[in-house]
Amino acid sequence: MHVSRETLPSGARGGVNQVWQISNGKQYYFVKTHLQQSFSAEVDGLIALQDAAVVRIPTIVCHGHAAKTFYLVLEWLSMRCRGNETHLGTHLATLHRIVGPHFGWHCDNLLGTFRQTNATCATWCDFWRAHRLLPQLEMASTQPWGATIVKNGQHLLDQLGPFFDDHHPIPSLLHGDLWHGNVGWLDTDTPVLFDPAVHYGDRETDLAMTELFGGFGPSFYSAYQTHYPLQAGYPRRRPLYQLYHVLNHANFFGGGYIDHAHHLLMLLLKSIG
């Protein structure tokens, strides 16, 4: 068995897990390892996307725990960082048309190292308040910089209703962590999705995430809009959905993400009036 560290494209490594390329002499495999976190939730999400049969994901070989280390073994796919984004937009729109019975998911999962609670809720507004923004604000309350963000954040939580007065999303199947580092393309130009944080929710959250860190071009959004147009009001809700990810980064990395969170909160509060 040959084992080597695989050099990933810039921005794809992340820093949460160790990643490896291994070979049995006949074929290669992609391996992720972590000393503390199980990969069971990621496996659950990959299986959900695989069962949807509308997007390409790496095939799961095995996962488990050995020698005090959690591991996940996937098929090795030679991927490019760039490809035909029209295909990606079309596939994502098709994925989002798969509808679940409620908002949430049957198990919790991870966004990076943050544990996402996915308890089901009858309304999307309640889910976003209780299981996305509130946990991040509770974490921010333990940070030395958190007082103002928590104060403004609580004010926002108390006034979420107006964002959904004319918006009643259906519970779409979501990737959940759709930034450009979690997408690749095969030589056939087939897009591949990986590292999901799957749940049923407002499809706008996946789109808002793609716009947060860049990396997706006009053809992606044009294809998505052609196959599943977004509802009016999305630009107003976009910073509300991006706030969750920015708070998560602020809680773990600090730095400029703190100022970004401040900016989004003030923008959202101003839009309420």
Which residues of the chain form beta strands (DSSP E)? 2-5, 18-23, 28-34, 60-66, 69-75, 109-111, 114-116, 172-174, 183-185, 191-193, 199-201
The helix-helix angle for 204-212 and 218-227 (nearest 10°) equals: 170
Query: In sequence order, what are the beta bridge partners of 160?
Result: none
- Among residues 44, 166, 177, 187, the one annotated as catalytic is 177
Q: What's the CA gap between 75 and 95, in Å, rounded?
A: 22
Is 177 annotated in the active site? yes
Q: What's the CA gap between 222 and 211, in Å, rounded?
A: 14
Number of H helices, E strands in the chain: 9, 11
Residue type, 17: N
What DSSP string runs through 139-197?
HHTTSTTHHHHHHHHHHHHTT-GGGGTT-----EEE-S---GGGEEE-TT--EEE-S--
Q: Supply the residues annotated as catalytic.
A: 177
